[in-house]
Amino acid sequence: MAIFFDTYNSEIINSSIVFGVFFILQLIARLIVRTIGKSKKILTSRARLVGRYFTISFLFITLLIIGFIFGVNIDDLVVVFSSVFAILGITLFANWSILSNVTSGIIMFFSFPYKIGDKIKIHDKDHEIEALIEDIRSFQIHLRQDNGDLITYPNNLLLQKAVTLIEKDAFDK
């Protein structure tokens, strides 16, 4: 064991520094997301979810940097990443709507002007939906119509349609 630490002493120190920077960056990112969530009065569960997305992204970058620190050959990484991205590409092409809904959910976290409790009208060419926003999730938004019907509307479609605010925070009545 002592031989391992003697051989890879500088790599272990550099990896510790990278993990320390990763830890600090993910804490800062989560704090920023939580602050934005509080300022926009967004549920803490949504803020935690977006924070997890940032943590996973930072973790992949950290593992890539640690691979370089330990001397992983760039050609080997290219083979691994091209294989992984080819599989992901095929998978996501088959399920492109899942990826677009998650991306739309993140966009809605930062810039969606409507909140849970607002009554909105979605202007679709086939029909219009007038409902109360019950929940905003990663893949879809839950809308409750006046007759009690629950509609789950995909996030990506909501960002593509015109939406009108009917009543602000109808839950406070």
Q: Does this model's pTM top 0.85?
A: no
| Number of residues that make up the chain | 173
- Residue 108's CB is within 10 A of a number of other CB atoms, namely 22
Please choose, from the candidates 168, 160, 137, the residue with its C-alpha nearest in 3D space to the C-alpha of residue 46. Answer: 137
Matching residue, tokens 């109808």: 170
Q: Is the pLDDT of residue 149 over 60?
A: yes
104-130 pLDDT, tens digit each: 888 888 887 888 888 999 998 888 899
Q: Average pLDDT of 39-44?
A: 79
70 has a pLDDT exceeding 80: yes
Query: Could you tell me the residue ranges of all domains in the chain?
Result: 2-94, 114-172
Strand partners, 123: 128, 162
**The domain defined by 114-172 carries CATH number 2.30.30.60:** yes
User: In which band, very low, low, confident or very high, does the pLDDT at 93 lie, cut at 50, 70 and 90?
Assistant: low
SS3 of 33, please?
helix
Instruction: Residue 22: count other Cβ atoms within 10 Å of its Cβ.
Output: 18
Instruction: Classify residue 172 by burial, with Cβ atoms within 10 Å: 0-12, 13-18, 19+.
Output: exposed
% residues pLDDT > 70 (the chain): 94
CA 122 to CA 161: how far, in whole Å? 7
